[in-house]
């Protein structure tokens, strides 16, 4: 979905810390092997809660969130009720959309992302509430005008109906600017030791083959507010550089790669290049020199194979050639009968 899952780009300047509380809700029709309704609760891009139409109860996913639920048992009941009511809401709207668009079969997906961001220095709060259908933006609430925007013509009927429901829009506004930041601040307080930690990564130089770009790869850092770039003679270098996205690891940390294409770099100029990683809020940077001896690769030239290994490889290739030739002769004889 174009706007439900956004890549955050960070400028090379010190920035304030922004926290976020986001709900990702998904209803499906005609999709097998997954629940018909799934909901994720994310705090600072970390999954802290989950429910679906099969388990039907709110499931905390972080230790600090479990502690919060123990201290506030009514909260898990509230989330469980919300999971049930949203499941019914999404089921009804998905069925109505399919009927209106004359979609009698196939797989269809209705999604919503809503929540808020809070700047802990300025106090600024930004709210959002938007829907997607079958992988495309469908309808978005403008919290300033309290009107819905329909990027797709199919959503125009929904826009008219929801624009007329003033109570619904006012509730969404109140939630985004009052309830949401209240709970966000509460969650950040409970999870501060985890959410506000800073973990520096391990940085490696990787290369597939001698003619491939050299990838400066950082993994294991937290949070995801980080930047990495190549420098030449101490200045940020943009030519022949390919910036990768910040991606999540299975353990909740993050990784990123920045590639440098070496075709235009003379061997004697390698010493002029280095890779810089900087984690937001951390003064120290990690600088990795472009050094051939430090590049990790799985590529091995044929001349570097041991003699015994080379003989085995050649033997296997000859055997494969004989098998192919035999198969060709067998097919030719069969066709001539």
At residue 310, φ and ψ (nearest 5 deg) are -60, -40
Q: What is the CA radius of gyration of the chain?
A: 27
Residue 309 has pLDDT above 90, yes or no: no
For 14-80, where are the E strands, in sequence order?
Answer: 18-29, 37-43, 46-52, 59-60
Q: Strand, helix or coil at 312?
A: helix
Of the candidates 113, 106, 97, 112, the one whose C-alpha atom is nearest the C-alpha of residue 156 is 97
Residues contacting residue 276 through CB under 8 Å, at least 6 positions apart: 228, 229, 230, 231, 285, 286, 287, 288
pLDDT tens-digit profile of 6-36?
A: 333 333 333 457 899 999 999 999 998 999 9
Q: What is the mean pLDDT of residues 111-123?
A: 95
CA 160 to chain centre: 33
Q: What is the mean pLDDT of residues 236-250?
A: 93
Token reading at 150: 């329909």
Question: Given pLDDT bands bounded at 50, 70 and 90, which one contains residue 320?
Answer: low
Question: Given pLDDT bands bounded at 50, 70 and 90, which one contains residue 252?
Answer: confident
The confidence score (pLDDT) of residue 6 equals 33
pLDDT tens-digit profile of 46-71?
A: 899 999 999 989 999 999 999 999 99
Out of 97-106, 160-169, 174-183, least confident range: 97-106
Out of 22-26, 126-130, 182-186, 315-319, least confident range: 315-319
Residue 152 has pLDDT above 70, yes or no: yes
Task: Tell me the pLDDT of the chain averaged across its residues.
Answer: 86
Phi-psi region of 240 (alpha: psi -120 to 50; beta: other; left: phi over 0): left
- 8 A C-beta contact, residue 108 and residue 29: yes
Q: What is the mean pLDDT of residues 94-113?
A: 93
Q: What is the mean pLDDT of residues 84-88?
A: 94
Between the two ends of the chain, the Cα-to-Cα distance in Å is: 58
Residue 298 has pLDDT above 90, yes or no: no
Helices (H), the chain: 63-71, 73-100, 156-164, 166-174, 180-190, 192-195, 307-336
Question: Given pLDDT bands bounded at 50, 70 and 90, which one contains residue 302?
Answer: low
Question: Which is higher by pLDDT, 319 or 244?
Answer: 244
Q: Tell me the longest C-alpha to C-alpha distance in the chain.
A: 86
Of the candidates 99, 150, 103, 148, the one whose C-alpha atom is nearest the C-alpha of residue 128 is 148
The confidence score (pLDDT) of residue 333 equals 46
The confidence score (pLDDT) of residue 258 equals 97
Residue 315 has pLDDT above 60, yes or no: no
Residue ranges of domains in the chain, CATH in brackets: 18-195 (3.30.500.10), 202-296 (2.60.40.10)
The confidence score (pLDDT) of residue 303 equals 52
């Amino acid at each position: 979905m174009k706007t439900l899952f956004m890549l955050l780009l960070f400028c090379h300047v010190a920035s304030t810390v922004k926290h976020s509380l986001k709900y990702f809700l998904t209803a499906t029709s005609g999709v097998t092997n997954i629940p018909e309704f799934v909901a994720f609760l994310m705090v600072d891009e970390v999954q802290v809660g989950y429910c679906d139409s099969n388990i039907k109860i709110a499931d905390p996913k972080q230790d600090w969130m479990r502690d919060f639920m123990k201290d506030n048992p009514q909260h898990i009941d509230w989330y469980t009720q919300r999971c049930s009511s949203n499941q019914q809401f999404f089921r009804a709207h998905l069925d109505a959309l399919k009927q209106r668009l004359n979609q009698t079969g196939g797989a269809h997906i209705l999604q919503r992302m809503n929540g808020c961001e809070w700047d802990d220095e300025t106090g600024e709060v930004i709210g959002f509430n938007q829907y997607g259908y079958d992988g495309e933006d469908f309808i978005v609430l403008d919290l300033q005008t309290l009107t819905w925007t329909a990027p797709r013509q199919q959503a125009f009927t929904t826009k008219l109906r929801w624009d007329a429901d003033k109570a619904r829009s006012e509730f969404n506004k109140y939630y985004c600017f009052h309830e949401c930041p209240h709970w966000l601040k509460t969650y950040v307080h409970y999870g501060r030791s985890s959410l506000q930690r800073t973990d520096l990564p391990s940085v490696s130089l990787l290369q597939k083959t001698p003619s491939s770009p050299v990838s400066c790869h950082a993994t294991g850092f937290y949070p995801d507010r980080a930047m990495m770039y190549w420098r030449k003679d101490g200045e940020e270098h943009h030519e022949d550089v390919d910036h990768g996205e910040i991606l999540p690891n299975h353990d909740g940390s993050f990784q990123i790669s920045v590639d440098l294409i070496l075709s235009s770099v003379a061997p004697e100029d390698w010493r002029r290049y280095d890779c810089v990683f900087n984690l937001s809020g951390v003064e120290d940077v990690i600088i990795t020199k472009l050094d051939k001896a430090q590049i990790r690769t799985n590529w091995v030239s044929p001349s570097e194979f041991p003699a015994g290994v080379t003989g085995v490889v050649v033997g296997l290739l000859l055997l494969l050639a004989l098998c192919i030739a035999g198969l060709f002769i067998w097919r030719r004889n069969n066709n001539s009968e």
